[in-house]
Amino acid sequence: MSSIRKVAVFGASGNFGAPITAALIQAGFEVTIVTRPAGGSSSSSPPKPTRSNFPAGAGSVVQADYGDVAKLTSALAGHDAAVSVLGPGAIAHEVSLVDAAEAAGVQRFVVNEFGWGGNPRSYPEMVEVGARRHVAWDHARAKAEANPAFTWTGVTIGNPIDWALRRFPRMGFNVAERTAVIYDSGTEHFTGTTLEGIGQAVVGVLRHPAETANRSVKARSIKTCQNELLEAFRSESTAEHHWTVTHEKVADLLEGGRQKHQAGTGGWILDLLIAQLYEEGLARCVVASNREDSDADLLGIREETAREVAAKALSLV
Ligand SMILES: NC(=O)c1ccc[n+]([C@@H]2O[C@H](COP(=O)([O-])OP(=O)(O)OC[C@H]3O[C@@H](n4cnc5c(N)ncnc54)[C@H](OP(=O)(O)O)[C@@H]3O)[C@@H](O)[C@H]2O)c1
């Protein structure tokens, strides 16, 4: 397998796409950003904002409708690898991206996983949600089986921890208000990958194409629990910013989420994701129990402390 130099990224302005693209550029890859046509001229993708904040330093920005395999194929010509980090709204297009990458002679396609992979300990409702995402992964796997020149990798990140702590106070930490909700005893451990770790994971995959071919790699920056994070938030906060702590039960969160699911109202996915994270004794959200069981060393992802993660979550407030 030859080395990878030229990389196309889909979703480069997104929550994870931006740090991944910046990390690839920083690592010395020649990066092309592929984006939807501006102004909603595409027939099969919804309108995109007229301005996108792409990381600086990409070699070029190319527009292509995500449903147009011929256009995508010409956009990907000459690239060694392609990475899909499109948002959940674009999930229906992932198969076209795989088809175009193979047709263009791309040797590695990083599928749009960036989640929990095929987590066998997920709640059944979450398995159902995940199944939609598996269609493109299975498609990439089938392509690779039929054509050895085409390979794929998925990146399992678990909880995107610094981003999620900032984005979802429901995870138990309202960093703007300095309030915390501790679920049950606060001792259930889970693994997470920071935005830095997510960017490094993709860099690591493309630097090690042979070791990462045709499988999902396990990323992690930290294994932690709510009590450790609360301690870290307290340590990283200034003296006048006291944290107010209340307690809730995972069982109530889970029941509420399932009621919303049955009633067809929104918000249940987040409720179940958080219940799954903190339900005690089942390690439902541990991607790799020990660092050695993960691919962190191969990929060059450093282990971060709870205080570092808390400082990152607080830094944007
Ligand atoms: N593990 C977790 O808990 C977790 C959390 C969040 C996300 N994720 C996963 O990470 C991946 C990336 O998510 P993200 O939050 O970074 O994505 P995002 O920021 O919502 O979107 C990324 C890019 O996708 C394109 N896009 C968005 N919506 C689209 C639509 N409806 N149609 C066509 N293109 C669209 C846009 O690119 P252009 O404007 O350039 O076309 C956008 O900048 C997804 O697989 C997501 O499920 C996992």
pLDDT tens, position by position, 42-94: 445 555 655 578 999 999 999 999 999 999 999 999 999 999 999 999 999 99
CB contact burial 134-170 (16+ within 10 A = b; e otherwise): eebbebbbebbeeeeebbbbbbbbbbbbbbbbbeeee
In tens, the pLDDT along 265-305 reads 999 999 999 999 999 999 999 999 999 999 999 999 999 99
Query: Secondary structure of the chain: what % helix, strand, coil (to 5)?
Result: 45, 15, 40
Contact 203, 300 (CB under 8 A): yes
Lowest mean pLDDT among 8-12, 38-42, 297-301: 38-42
pLDDT of residue 48: 61
Does 128 have pLDDT greater than 90? no
pLDDT of residue 141: 98
1 contacts 107 by C-beta, under 8 angstroms: yes
Q: What domains does the chain contain, in order, with CATH numbers?
A: 6-158+193-218 (3.40.50.720), 161-192+222-315 (3.90.25)
Widest distance between CA atoms in the chain:
62
Average pLDDT in the 120-124 region? 91
Atom of ligand 1 nearest to the CA of 11: 23
**Residue reference for tokens 């990140």:** 157
So what's the pLDDT on residue 238? 84
- Tens of pLDDT, residue by residue over 198-253, are 999 999 999 999 999 999 999 999 999 999 999 999 999 987 789 999 999 999 99
Query: How many Å apart are CA 98 and CA 211, to the nearest integer?
Result: 21
Nearest CA to ligand 1 atom 5: 160
Atom of ligand 1 nearest to the CA of 36: 41
Tell me how far apart the alpha carbons of residues 196 and 316 are, in angstroms, rounded to a whole number: 15
Q: Which residues line ligand 1 (CB under 6 A)?
A: 11, 13-17, 35-36, 45-46, 48, 52, 66, 85-90, 112, 114-115, 157, 160
Residue 14 neighbours by CB distance under 10 Å: 18
